[in-house]
Amino acid sequence: MDQYDLVPSGLIRLIKQGFNQGVDHAGSSIGQPTSFLVGCALNLSATDLDREVRVLRRKIEAGADFALSQPVYDAEVVRRFRVYYEERYGPLPLPILVGILPLYGIRHAEFLHNEVPGIFVPDATRERMRRAGENGPWEGVLMARELLVELGSLVQGAYLIPAFNHFDLVAEIIEEVRSPSSRENQPGPTETRRLEGRWL
């Protein structure tokens, strides 16, 4: 185990088995116990799944309450990770909250795929953004909606990340998820295609 692996699980253990019990790292009283819930990072697209699963297992054993993933663009990535973990350790005992970062255009998609470690944008997804052209932001919203539906049985929640501070696009996704009929009387670029399936 290298030092990088040890730091997150050690911090989780300090919070859950130390601070939440009312003591510091040396066992001295801190006055009163804290009541922190602790999340941990998770890279569902890791190239070395064996290492990522082992690191996650250590975080779980240290007391992590939930996991937050990097942005995901392919439900199969999540499915593959869950299968890999469960074949080795059994059912995942903590909730996974998956990152959803709506793509803004083809340059955004290519940058994330090629330059940001831990993010994988499938060829088909990048091709959709390429074909969308100037309608890229709305295509990104549509794909995020589709992905949320696909992920419904694989994760316990999601958190949305605005691209370039475009909170309006995130609000568009939230509105669709919360009220699937809300757009019936609101024509716009996202209405050019209908998303079939259930809403979360």
CATH number of the domain encompassing residue 133 = 3.20.20.220
Domain membership of residue 86 as a residue range: 37-192
Q: What is the pLDDT of residues 82-141, one digit of tens each?
A: 999 999 999 999 999 999 999 999 999 999 999 999 899 999 999 999 999 999 999 999
> CA 92 to CA 83: how far, in whole Å?
10
Residue 16 lies in a domain: no
What number of other Cβ atoms are within 10 A of residue 120's Cβ? 19
Residue 21 lies in a domain: no
Provide the domain count of the chain.
1
**9 in any annotated domain:** no
Q: Confirm whether 91 is domain-assigned.
A: yes
Residue range 13-52, pLDDT digits in tens: 999 989 999 998 888 889 999 999 999 999 999 999 999 9
pTM of the model: 0.79
Q: Which stretches does DSSP call E strand in the chain?
A: 39-42, 66-71, 96-100, 157-160
Residue 22, in any domain of the structure: no
- The answer to whether residue 56 is domain-embedded is yes
